[in-house]
């Protein structure tokens, strides 16, 4: 059975969108997913199922809406897709702090913005197939590249730092 990672968007950041990870694990197990595990409180789940990625995303979002009482978007990646994200590591030669090296996981193909990857140096970005990598050495809050990066209507994107991405990959391989 394939291993998947579900990355929930926008939970546990404010008091109104709270989801306990124990509840998340229980809801995913109710869907028939095996070996359900979570990482941190920000909505990262690893599990196994024979279902296809699009079906997994639909099921997870529907179950979360019922369980949490509000809509929660998620991005789903297979273990192989997550491995490809880590193997690509396009900014690893400059990113020396895993908490400030970010990956934005998209629900569709990534599109490069009109500005150059180093337009906000020392901040950098690299557009991958379905992800965008960001190096924000001074942190997320004051990042100019993150503020300027365009989003497309209806696009689901959720960001994880490199430390979390690599921990999730390790979980998929356990």
Structural domains of the chain, ranges and CATH numbers in brackets: 3-79 (3.30.70.1280), 87-162 (no CATH)
Alpha carbons within 13 A on the beta-carbon side of 83: 9
Q: What residues pair up with 105 in beta bridges, in sequence order?
A: 131, 158
One digit per residue, the tens of pLDDT, for the chain of length 174 reads 999 999 999 887 767 788 999 999 999 999 999 999 999 888 899 999 999 999 999 999 999 999 998 999 999 999 999 999 999 999 999 999 999 999 999 999 999 999 999 999 999 999 999 999 999 999 999 999 999 999 899 999 999 999 999 999 999 998
CA distance 87 to 162: 12
The structure's pTM equals 0.94
- pLDDT tens track for 20-42: 999 999 999 999 999 999 998 88
Question: How many residues does the structure list for the chain?
Answer: 174
- For residue 146, what are its two tokens? 């993150």
């Amino acid at each position: 059975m394939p291993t998947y990672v579900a990355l929930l968007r926008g939970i546990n950041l404010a008091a109104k969108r709270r989801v306990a990870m124990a509840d998340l694990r229980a809801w995913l197990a109710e869907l028939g997913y095996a070996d359900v595990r979570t990482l941190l409180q920000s909505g990262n789940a690893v599990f196994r199922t024979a279902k296809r990625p699009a079906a997994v995303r639909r099921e997870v979002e529907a179950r979360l809406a019922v369980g949490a009482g509000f809509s929660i978007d998620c991005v789903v990646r297979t273990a192989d897709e997550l491995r490809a994200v880590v193997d690509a590591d396009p900014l690893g030669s400059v990113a020396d702090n895993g908490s400030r090296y970010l990956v934005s996981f998209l629900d569709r193909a990534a599109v490069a913005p009109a500005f150059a990857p180093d337009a906000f140096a020392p901040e950098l970005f690299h557009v991958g197939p379905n992800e965008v990598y960001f190096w924000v050495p001074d942190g997320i809050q004051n990042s100019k590249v993150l503020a300027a990066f365009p989003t497309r209507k209806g696009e689901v994107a959720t960001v994880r730092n490199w430390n979390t991405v690599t921990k999730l990959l390790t979980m998929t391989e356990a």
